[in-house]
A = this chain, B = another copy of it.
């Protein structure tokens, strides 16, 4: 058998030596090495899979899951392979080692996948590599005129960074575990390997503590995970090659702790979980011994529940107010010769670090934990930027980048995509220092996210971050990224994610009418406002319990329709107004938008959720009109009249203003058409 495998491997090499690698495969993240051959491996009902080498229960479940997902992608049900006298398997897996009981940072995740016209082979040192290779295989499957196929291909792949994470905040809004599970499937599909579980914050403590049960009963609205639920969830993540990093944010962001145990607070309180600016900033008191007794027991309990070697203590955005105004704390600061609140936080972190070490955990914290007094095995997660990461690395700390990966800011995928942990100041590090940069994490803060919105905010944009962290640094083509992102987006929907279907459902709920196609057309060209604009616009204290059921909540963070329209306008302008295909596409869109306001108006009037959207719809119609006129001028080769352009400029300015927390995303390309129409048409 061994001889046979080797001779087949030689055959593979021979095939690929001759093959061309012109066509790009629809893979996200792009593997480090792909050779595309000619021909295809057919996937039909006879497909089967066999693993040899090390035996591993998690890998066996992985194979079953692979077959189930292959069924979801094809509608073919595969039968379990029965022994004796059957045809050779379509996919042969060989793995050298079984898995570690607890997944470790930096395990070998590489794999080699080769497909010929008759069979495929997946080799890896560890089951983690196999899991990644199986996901690559699934992404290769596509329907063609000849059936579902995988192209003849030879892939060698391994990650650029060992830590490819996604933070999900379940405190601001509780997210049920089944929703998280399908998003773990999404992470596995794009080879992310760390779920950073932001489990406590001001708005809720989300884990059952048996030692301190008031944490979940008083410190939440009753929505939390029991330990037995979590254990099953952690197994689910482990099976998918995903580590779970728990974060308990302290000493700030800790209102939920202090509602439950006000004796730990730096100010007398009282504390309530409520949407109010009233009451003291919630900060744990680092000067009491009782705090550390509490934390010792707490870390012991949570450290056992979450087996990962790393433990995130938060440490960000600690308000100094409760410390400044508490004489006992001021006295402590002076008595210990500290110069600032920062020193006090460092003291807290050092004490906490000892507790973590006692319970065999490695500390991870946000930028602010960085302090000369801390030992070098602390991992710093940077929300401030590559500079802060570089400073830490030079000092000997390991680091993670999250600056530039905040998914709640509603940036386009392209903007996240260009953020590289090794760029900026980090580019100037030496090799040893660079090795300290472990990777990065996308961050999904959930101020505006509920369980029905989460998928929409994560996908497919997280896949762009996943590619940045997995693929070679040279993989940078944005056009290619978007083409592949569209494909992976549909792939993820087929696997059960709801980023697209959820939007349809939320729109349907807004208005009782049966035909909502006009509303969909409007929804397709808007995006939620960017950065912190939505929060900044909140009048009074932000009410985290308010319904998230408006158009801004249903709208996707990035409008594909607008991006494609922008591309068409670029192509048309670049062609000197000669690209007829692009022109036709532009004209059709503009005309549809122009006519849409008439159709959508009665829908908007029917629902209180849509009243504030009416001006957006009017602007869209006006933009359609303006664009069509501009096209006409360009077509005739005569400059548009100045007076007309002045009018359009007013419209464009108005249309740029956010309304109902939404931005109309086709303003810029229409503006380009209007501006182009001012000039003489070139070369006629």
Contact flags A128-164 to B (C-beta < 8 A → 1, else 0): 0000000000000011111100000000000000000
Determine if A452 is an interface residue (Cβ-Cβ < 8 Å).
yes
What residues of chain B lie closer than 8 Å to A511, measured between beta carbons? 143
Cβ B75 vs Cβ A548 within 8 A:
yes
Q: A143 to B75, Cβ gap below 8 A?
A: no
Q: Which residues of B contact A145 (CB under 8 A)?
A: 605-608, 611
* Chain B residues within 8 Å of A450, by CB: 75, 77
Closest Cβ of chain B: how far from A503's Cβ, in Å?
11
State whether A74 touches B547 (Cβ < 8 A). Answer: yes
Q: Which residues of B contact A549 (CB under 8 A)?
A: 74-76
Contact-residue size bin, chain A (C-beta under 8 Å from the other chain): 35 or more
The distance from the CB of A48 to the nearest CB of chain B, in whole angstroms, is 14
Q: Mark A417-442, 1 if CB is under 8 A from B, else 0.
A: 00000000000000000000000000
Contact B74 A509 (CB under 8 A): yes
A581: CB under 8 A from chain B? no
Q: Is the CB of A494 within 8 A of B509?
A: yes
Residues in B neighbouring A553, C-beta threshold 8 A: 75
Of B45, B79, B548, B608, which is within 8 A of A221 by CB? B79
Nearest chain B CB to A552 CB, angstrom units? 12
Known: A546-B45, A547-B74, A547-B75. Contact between A607 and B514, CB under 8 A?
no
A505 within 8 A of B: yes
A509 touches B75 (CB 8 A): yes
* Residue in B501, B506, B514, B605 whose CB lies within 8 Å of A75: B506
In the bound complex, residues from chain B placing their C-beta under 8 Å from that of A547 are 45, 74-77
In the complex, A609 has a CB within 8 A of chain B: yes
Q: Which residues of A (422-477) have their CB < 8 Å from a CB of B? A: 450, 452
Judged by a CB distance under 8 angstroms, whether A330 is at the interface is no
Q: Which of A499-554 contact B (CB under 8 A)?
A: 501, 504-506, 508-512, 514, 545-549, 553
- Chain B residues in 8 Å Cβ range of A75: 450, 452, 506, 509, 547-549, 553
Which residues on the B side are within 8 Å of A508 (C-beta)? 490, 493-494
- Would you call A222 an interface residue if the criterion is a C-beta within 8 Å of the partner chain's C-beta atoms? yes
Nearest Cβ in chain B — how far from A661, in angstroms? 15
- Contact for A490 among B45, B493, B494, B514, CB less than 8 A: B514
Is the Cβ of A144 less than 8 Å from the Cβ of B608?
yes
**Is A569 an interface residue, CB under 8 A from the partner?**
no
Task: Indicate whether A683 reaches chain B with its CB closer than 8 angstroms.
Answer: no
Residues of chain B lying within 8 A (CB to CB) of residue A80? 221-222
Enumerate chain A interface residues (CB-CB to B < 8 A).
45, 73-77, 79-80, 142-147, 221-222, 450, 452, 486-487, 490, 493-494, 501, 504-506, 508-512, 514, 545-549, 553, 605-609, 611
- For the complex of A and B, list the 8 residue pairs with the smallest distance between their C-beta atoms, beginning with the closest: A75-B549, A76-B547, A143-B607, A142-B512, A147-B608, A501-B501, A75-B547, A486-B514
12 A-B residue pairs with Cβ-Cβ distance under 8 Å, sorted by A, are A45-B546, A74-B509, A75-B553, A76-B547, A76-B549, A77-B547, A80-B222, A144-B606, A145-B606, A145-B611, A147-B608, A487-B512
11 other contacts beyond A80-B222, A144-B608, with CB at 8 A cut-off?
A: A45-B545, A45-B546, A73-B509, A74-B509, A74-B547, A75-B506, A75-B553, A77-B545, A79-B545, A145-B607, A487-B512
